[in-house]
Structure 1
């Protein structure tokens, strides 16, 4: 038998397998290597992983999510989707077949089976199937399944997403924001606020304080997004700053983010117009928050698989390793990504920018308050994402 010592040091591995296994081993090694290469190319081309997330893949493989079996909707020529389709890197990250909202018809056994192993807010792990099913059965109006209806197939839906960032103070952007088709605003007590300006839709995030700031942030609200926890905390923490009630514009859409079981419970009580039957909100009445009884179609709820998808594709932070039980995209990020997956043009106001240190945490702060970072969100990663999407002209980010 040929001695290993006869092999030159720099060629010892080829020498070993030729000596011990012969040509069959060599062919097996080459074929295996080629198979791995083919798998990697297919994986990348199918969009299961982006180059930006390759390092994250080393930590954790991507979990597959629910996708619609219907064709992608037709959109007008102005839509950001055409920009995405022309960019290889963006096309691999974005998927417009992942459901954004959950409602009555989305609660089927195959979805339950797929999501029962994922914890909130990414799924329904450890959640009672009857309680989840009962809540979603109440979202039976067609309006619960979509944010808005296009007036005509070629109508360009322009959306603005509005946050509470201090960058908005003195911005004089109020009229521009209110000129959009829809305005999104949301509530999150620990995030810097966010704003978008490019559609007829406006989204609000964080405490929506209008009085004395109309010239900077506008007054129109089409959609208001929140979790029950952040809503209640914000009403207490920002009462003195003027956040005394949630927006109550006629026809406003209330977007629930299912971060905890209580979000499902609160939504059911709001639709049924009854007190919350269980802790920690037992006895609370949704009218305390909304001030009136909205119609069924005004209630929306983000789909767990959408939160899972945007986390893995856009905001797969290293904080997932150390804070997996609490980490999730901020409310503002979820509202902005919701707008990007439903509107044709999107603008963001009040979101974190490179020079965030130049501004207070909120535009309504009476004294300068620096932005504080918490473990449950990766605000710096979110800021980099908005910057990248702005540079690719997928959204317009207000900066100064």
Structure 2
């Protein structure tokens, strides 16, 4: 009897374990099935398939897992972001009406079109700036597949829509702040590199039709080396706050404010769109993560400059990354942090607005011979950021210089 009870007890125990294993197995199978649409081989993302209409179909609406942002359309839901997603559809970039010819017989556009390297990469008529008419449900769904600044993944639908509804349309005359110039439009893009310290290049820089600067563009006291005029000033909301906080003692107390200065905003994160909403609608965005004092400081700078503010299009920023600055960082787990530097974006913007582009203060092969920045009081090494790939940018400028697309300032 005792043996029979033990055998019966053993069978019951095995039955309970079998039942438990079946429940666990079913649960795991359900999880795997749910993840199947989100993971590809190698643990990367898979994109949503395209429909016959050429658009990504929606997934469930609601709160995304990229933050507490409610969307009114579907997004890709990342599960195991070990490298940048690889999408099954071809590149899609917005284009603008062809820019009117300036009568420049040797424009960089012509040089690029004759280059075996550039002719398949360079899009002279890609859309540069966001405008009111650019927002619709299809664009929202498409840009949900790309992290900022290359898209709108994880951003709040209402904030983006509100910002886009207030952006004006732009003409070439408004961008240049004057009628098209006859002949070749010459532009100087001035980086902040230490190669410009004691360079005496100020007069040469100021001789250009338009001059681009960005971030901590300290001018007062350095005019002999970097010039004095500013036609376009580029920034992100974060970089502007950082420069105002860290470079005040160097003389950077506000953005350049010449009568004809235009401002190029690179929207790299949710804070940028919240900041824009505050400026355009005089309302605070949500989850800005920026103190009221810091927000007021930057808003006060731009409250009377809104008609001069241009917001760079995510398509243009993605085009720069995909075709010219595709860093190896994108193959690793920190892919989502990478973006071209503000200086790189300004130089690429100039290439699509100007006929001739000269670049000053950018990294060259012998960068170690100079201080990190031209305004350094004592010599300091260049500081690198994991958000950017300065060596990749350096190699691109060198190659463009060699191809005759830009003229890069060198110094021994």
Equivalent runs, 1:60-75 vs 2, <5 Å: 64-68=91-95, 70-71=97-98, 73-75=100-102
Matched residue, 1:199: none
Cα offsets for 1:14-44 (capped at 9, x unmatched): xxxxxxxxxxxxxxxxxxxxxxxxxxxxxxx
Give yes or no for contact 2:188–2:210 (8 Å, CA) kept in 1.
yes
1:342 Cα deviation from its structure 2 partner: 1.3
Structure number with bigger Rg: 2
1:265 aligns with 2:293: no
2:229 aligns to what? 220
1:188-207 superposed matches below 5 A: 207=216
Structure 2 equivalent of residue 198 of structure 1: none
| Alignment correspondent of 2:321 | 311
SS of residue in 1 equivalent to 2:397: helix
Alignment match, 1:378: 389
Q: 5 Å matches for 1:1-400?
A: 64-68=91-95, 70-71=97-98, 73-76=100-103, 77-142=105-170, 147-148=175-176, 151-152=179-180, 154-187=182-215, 207-272=216-281, 274=282, 276-278=284-286, 279-281=288-290, 283-284=292-293, 288=298, 291=301, 293-322=303-332, 323-400=334-411
Gaps of 5+ in 2: 1-84
8 Å CA contact 2:206, 2:228 repeated in 1: yes
After superposing the two structures, state which structure 1 stretch, 313-322 or 139-148, moved more: 139-148
Q: Give the secondary structure class of the aligned counterpart of 1:136.
A: helix
CA distance in 2, matches of 1:152, 1:96: 17
Residues paired across the two proteins, number: 323
Deviation at 1:282, TM superposition (A): 5.1
* TM-score, with structure 1 as normaliser: 0.75
How far, CA to CA, are the matches of 1:384 and 1:293 in structure 2? 38
Change (3 A) 1:127 1:63: farther
The 1:131/1:180 distance shift into structure 2, 3 A limit, reads same
- Unpaired runs of 5+ residues, structure 1, are 1-58, 188-206
How far apart, in 1, do the equivalents of 2:381 and 2:109 lie? 36
CA RMSD of the aligned region, Å?
2.5
Tell me how far apart the structure 1 counterparts of residues 208 and 172 of structure 2 sit (CA, whole Å). 22
**Cα distance per residue 1:194-240 (max 9 Å; x no partner):** xxxxxxxxxxxxx1111221100011111111111111111112222
* TM-fit CA distance, 1:67: 3.0
CA positional deviation for 1:88: 2.1
CA distance, structure 1, for counterparts of residue 129 and residue 220 of structure 2: 31
1:147 offset after TM fit, Å?
2.7
* In 2, Cα distance between equivalents of 1:299 and 1:69: 19
Q: Is the 8 A contact 1:99 1:305 kept in 2?
A: yes
